[in-house]
Amino acid sequence: MGWLLSFALKIFGSGLLEKMLDYLQQRANTDLERTKAELGGDTQIALARLQAEIEANKAKQLIRAQEGPWGLTALAGILLFALPTGLHYWAIVIDSVCGMWSSAKCVGSWHIAELPGQFAGIEGQIVLSFFITGGAVTIARLFARR
């Protein structure tokens, strides 16, 4: 289609239209180069981010290999998060089922406080992580050994 416009310009001999088309072509080329530069920059940033994540994961694997399965990270997670969460969870469960062995009046007699706000959701996620995620990882390891 560009050759058709060029042919029409030559027939009509308008220098103004040629200059306008040259300007539009130059502007399109400039926009194309700017877009290429932006995409190239984004690609470089994404590549640098991925390389940084790979290095961080290598460092984590090295630390876990040195610590073993019961390293400082695992013990801190268990002592600081899992143990208090488990104690709170089981206190609620035991307080709720004490009616099985005695009168129904004792249900809720311990007055265990609920966790405020979003902490209740976090506690649920911690409990689920032991039974769902931990169980799935164990099953995956069993199948990986075969």
Do residue 47 and residue 87 come from a single domain? no
Do residue 56 and residue 81 come from a single domain? no
Residue 2 pLDDT more than 60? yes
pTM attached to this predicted model = 0.42
Report the distance separating Cα 129 and Cα 136, nearest Å: 10
Residue 52 pLDDT more than 70? yes
Give the range of the structural domain holding residue 13, as residue numbers without chain letter: 1-67
Do residue 59 and residue 129 come from a single domain? no
Do residue 50 and residue 74 come from a single domain? no
Do residue 7 and residue 56 come from a single domain? yes
Do residue 35 and residue 79 come from a single domain? no
Number of separate domains in the chain: 2
> What is the residue-wise DSSP string for the chain?
-HHHHHHHHHHHT-HHHHHHHHHHHHHHHHHHHHHHHHHHHHHHHHHHHHHHHHHHHHHHHHHHHHH-TT-HHHHHHIIIIIHHHHHHHHHHHHHHHGGGTS-GGGTTTT-PPPPPTTHHHHHHHHHHIIIIIHHHHHHHHHHHH-
- Give which of 67, 72, 86, 65 is closest to 134, Cα–Cα: 86
Report the distance separating Cα 41 and Cα 38, nearest Å: 5
Report the distance separating Cα 91 and Cα 50, nearest Å: 44
Q: What percent of the chain has pLDDT over 70?
A: 75
| Summary mean pLDDT of the chain | 76
The length of the chain is 146
Residue 6 token pair: 């060029």
Query: Contact 101/142 with Cβ under 8 angstroms?
Result: no
Q: What angle do CA 66, 72, 77 make, to 5 degrees?
A: 130
Do residue 53 and residue 73 come from a single domain? no
Residue 72 pLDDT more than 60? yes
Do residue 106 and residue 141 come from a single domain? yes
Do residue 91 and residue 143 come from a single domain? yes
